A and B are shown apart, each in its own frame.
Chain A
Amino acid sequence: MNARVELRGVRKAFHEDRPNVFWAVDGIDLVLPAGGVTVLAGPSGSGKTTLLTLIGCLARPTEGRVRLDGRDISGLPEPFLAALRRQTFGFVFQRFNLIRGLTVLDNVMLPAYPLGPPHRALTRRANAALERLGIGHRAGALVESLSGGEAQRTAIARALINDPAVLIADEPTANLDTALSLAFLDIVSDLRAEGRTLLLSSHDPLVREASVVDRAVELRDGRVVADHETRAEPAG
């Protein structure tokens, strides 16, 4: 698995054409090598979520370049960005964003639909992912009936269904108690061991100071104010 992300002079403005233009991300240079766990820290409003959307191709930067394995992806047309979101990046949203009315299994399979894989193979893969995250028994349940921890695991399984190199999670422990947060970090540790790149944003000291974290990048007002390696041993 490969996926080296490189940001050069990246800025993102909101209300660009209005007088109250606001730069949520204001000039970031950052290299995220393949593999390892990086945490984006910083106070509320510092631009963590915005930066994650730029890296994960959910939005385009207003200025600057985002490169993936050396290739400039900031100017790619929409279908290419969609393909990257589908196959290179997996997302675990802060509010999970599962689709209500569908079962856990259906939600997990969703990102694979545009690829049109054989149905049986896809079902097997989805079940395996759920099994692995310890919620195989909930596969047939409607997502409305899930607890917070189960919903998050469903979201993780969905993010992993197309086997992405990078997993992006925004505030993954915001809705979890300590035990569930620690369980989440265990999952992160497993994924890291598989060689995936993990990119988390978090206020939570429990996450920032976890032993699994390789690097913490601190943002403030849309800029990097601190960047430290927190773990000496190599990833993977």
Chain B
Amino acid sequence: MTEWRSTLARQRYLLDFTVAAMKRRRARNLGLLLVYGGMVFLLASVLFYTGALKHEAGLLLAEAPEIVVQRMVAGRHDLIPETHAETLRRIRGIRAVQGRLWGYHYDPVVRANYTLLVPPSDDIAPGTTVIGPALARARGAGIGDVLSFRGHDGALRAFRIQAVLPQESGLVSADLFLVAEPDFRALFGVPAGQYTDLALRIPNAREIQTVAEKVLETLPDSRPILREEMLRTYDAVFDWRSALVLLPLSGALLAFAILAWEKASGLSADERREIGILKAVGWETGDVLAMKLWEGGLLSLLAFLFGTAAAYWHVFGLSAPLLAPVMQGWSVLYPAFRLTPAIDATQLLALFFLTVLPYLAATLVPVWRAAVTDPDEVMR
């Protein structure tokens, strides 16, 4: 009991001493904290952002059809006829087949692509449209305004804005332009009975693979795309994008590592002398190490906390202004939405160990070397 209490008291003393020591070297420690915290901030931002985008994409795809069937002509995606849908409806395991109509339109005014889409529920009246928030912002348009553009035949068509999708409705809604089916067909010249692709609903997850094989068998000119594949593609894309950010960052990371190593490992003559004094007055090597462990631990923990807190705020509070242009750029119209906080605990833990442990090692090695030498130098 008393043993335990004095161990605790000892650690308190060491901690107090450490805090006092850190205050004495305020400029150095603040500098370290800033650089170190900044590094954690960048890493955590990328981590949070990628995680949140994947999460978002995952949510999106959760509602997506299990299989999307495209028709291929000469190796290219082509329109798919209603007769294909009829054929597919006869395959066991498929509950519903829905023809979808969607495509892109380049708007030279804002120099960006819109995603034109006919929503499955037929609630858009011909001549009207519902648009995404980013598009509304880019065109400076609101409800009641009229947007018009030329179709495939050069004819100008006008759409009255019926509604603007809410800000937070997600990543891919930003540049949407929802229209009625007849408008879509007229605009792009898609004949009746033709669709962009077919969405299949398959209630039993275990049948998806077999259904896909059967689809290919019965319609050799088709290409079934599984939702799982799309998920993987999303993951790959986001991983690739985060790699894109981390790659140039890794140079900075390396520089940081070197700086931290130098800062942490380069014991100043002052510190060396101090260690000698502490040893001379009866501190054990372990006491000195524990003290420095507190110091490194406090510093790296603070940096980690500040870095991750700032990153959280940056990504989920401010929607990652520093990363967004690189990370989500498949559309020129950036969605201005708030990401739902989605944090992966293992990633956070990995970040913690990747930043805190190397720093501790960097501090402890030279201290250990100084602390195991005889303290007789302090007599000189």
Residues of chain A whose beta carbon lies under 8 Å from any beta carbon of chain B: 49-50, 52-53, 58-60, 78-79, 82-83, 85-87, 91, 93-94, 97, 99-102, 106, 110-119, 158-159, 162, 170
Give chain A residues whose Cβ lies under 8 Å from the Cβ of B20: 101-102, 106
Residues of chain B whose beta carbon lies under 8 Å from any beta carbon of chain A: 5-14, 17, 20-21, 23-24, 273-274, 277-287, 372, 374-376, 378-380
The answer to whether A113 and B277 have CB atoms under 8 Å apart is no
The answer to whether A162 and B282 have CB atoms under 8 Å apart is yes
Give the residue of B9, B278, B378 whose beta carbon is less than 8 angstroms from that of A93. Answer: B378
The answer to whether A59 and B376 have CB atoms under 8 Å apart is yes
The CA of A94 and the CA of B12, in the complex, are separated in Å by 30
The answer to whether A85 and B281 have CB atoms under 8 Å apart is yes
- Nearest residue in B to A89 (C-beta to C-beta)? B282
The CA of A117 and the CA of B13, in the complex, are separated in Å by 9
The CA of A117 and the CA of B10, in the complex, are separated in Å by 8
Max count, chain B CB within 10 A of own CB: residue among A49, A94, A99: A99
Give chain A residues whose Cβ lies under 8 Å from the Cβ of B11: 116
Give chain B residues whose Cβ lies under 8 Å from the Cβ of A158: 281
Please give the distance in Å from B287's CB to the nearest CB on chain A.
Answer: 5
Please give the distance in Å from B205's CB to the nearest CB on chain A.
Answer: 61
The answer to whether B6 and A115 have CB atoms under 8 Å apart is yes
Contact (A79, B284) CB under 8 Å given A116-B10, A116-B13, A118-B9: yes
The answer to whether A78 and B372 have CB atoms under 8 Å apart is yes
The answer to whether B285 and A101 have CB atoms under 8 Å apart is no
Known pairs A53-B379, A110-B281 / 18 extra A-B pairs, C-beta < 8 Å? A58-B379, A78-B285, A79-B284, A85-B279, A85-B282, A86-B282, A86-B283, A93-B280, A94-B379, A97-B277, A99-B274, A101-B21, A101-B23, A110-B17, A113-B13, A114-B283, A116-B9, A116-B13
Can you spell out 21 A-B residue pairs with CB atoms less than 8 angstroms apart?
A53-B379, A58-B378, A59-B375, A59-B376, A78-B285, A85-B280, A86-B281, A87-B282, A101-B21, A101-B23, A101-B24, A102-B20, A111-B282, A112-B13, A113-B13, A113-B14, A114-B283, A114-B287, A116-B9, A117-B6, A159-B281
- Nearest residue in B to A114 (C-beta to C-beta)? B287
The answer to whether B282 and A97 have CB atoms under 8 Å apart is no
The answer to whether B283 and A58 have CB atoms under 8 Å apart is no
Contact (A113, B24) CB under 8 Å given A52-B379, A91-B281, A118-B9: no
The CA of A79 and the CA of B273, in the complex, are separated in Å by 20
The answer to whether A58 and B277 have CB atoms under 8 Å apart is no
Contact (A82, B279) CB under 8 Å given A100-B24, A114-B287: yes
Please give the distance in Å from B10's CB to the nearest CB on chain A.
Answer: 3
The CA of A93 and the CA of B8, in the complex, are separated in Å by 30
Please give the distance in Å from A186's CB to the nearest CB on chain B.
Answer: 24
- Nearest residue in B to A82 (C-beta to C-beta)? B284
Give chain B residues whose Cβ lies under 8 Å from the Cβ of A162: 282
A interface secondary structure, majority:
helix
The answer to whether A58 and B280 have CB atoms under 8 Å apart is yes
The CA of A58 and the CA of B12, in the complex, are separated in Å by 26
Give chain A residues whose Cβ lies under 8 Å from the Cβ of B277: 97, 99
Please give the distance in Å from A116's CB to the nearest CB on chain B.
Answer: 3
The CA of A175 and the CA of B9, in the complex, are separated in Å by 37
The answer to whether A53 and B376 have CB atoms under 8 Å apart is yes
Give the residue of A53, A114, A119 whose beta carbon is less than 8 angstroms from that of B284. Answer: A114
The CA of A113 and the CA of B284, in the complex, are separated in Å by 11
Give chain A residues whose Cβ lies under 8 Å from the Cβ of B274: 99
Please give the distance in Å from B373's CB to the nearest CB on chain A.
Answer: 10
The answer to whether A58 and B282 have CB atoms under 8 Å apart is no
The CA of A74 and the CA of B17, in the complex, are separated in Å by 31
The CA of A119 and the CA of B5, in the complex, are separated in Å by 12
Please give the distance in Å from A78's CB to the nearest CB on chain B.
Answer: 6
Give chain B residues whose Cβ lies under 8 Å from the Cβ of A110: 17, 278, 281
- Nearest residue in A to B24 (C-beta to C-beta)? A101
Give chain B residues whose Cβ lies under 8 Å from the Cβ of A85: 279-282, 375
The answer to whether B376 and A119 have CB atoms under 8 Å apart is no
The CA of A58 and the CA of B380, in the complex, are separated in Å by 12
The CA of A236 and the CA of B277, in the complex, are separated in Å by 31
The answer to whether B375 and A116 have CB atoms under 8 Å apart is no
Give chain B residues whose Cβ lies under 8 Å from the Cβ of A99: 274, 277
The answer to whether A119 and B9 have CB atoms under 8 Å apart is yes
The CA of A119 and the CA of B374, in the complex, are separated in Å by 29
Give chain B residues whose Cβ lies under 8 Å from the Cβ of A117: 6, 9
Give chain A residues whose Cβ lies under 8 Å from the Cβ of B17: 106, 110, 113
- Nearest residue in B to A171 (C-beta to C-beta)? B379
Give chain A residues whose Cβ lies under 8 Å from the Cβ of B9: 116-119
The CA of A76 and the CA of B23, in the complex, are separated in Å by 36
- Nearest residue in A to B21 (C-beta to C-beta)? A101
Contact (A82, B283) CB under 8 Å given A53-B376, A97-B277, A97-B378: yes
Give chain A residues whose Cβ lies under 8 Å from the Cβ of B375: 58-59, 85
Give the residue of A60, A87, A106 whose beta carbon is less than 8 angstroms from that of B374. Answer: A60
Max count, chain A CB within 10 A of own CB: residue among B24, B372, B375, B380: B375
Max count, chain A CB within 10 A of own CB: residue among B10, B273, B372: B10
The CA of A101 and the CA of B379, in the complex, are separated in Å by 20
The CA of A49 and the CA of B24, in the complex, are separated in Å by 31
The answer to whether B283 and A91 have CB atoms under 8 Å apart is no
- Nearest residue in A to B20 (C-beta to C-beta)? A102
The answer to whether B281 and A111 have CB atoms under 8 Å apart is yes
Please give the distance in Å from A200's CB to the nearest CB on chain B.
Answer: 13
Give chain B residues whose Cβ lies under 8 Å from the Cβ of A119: 9, 12-13
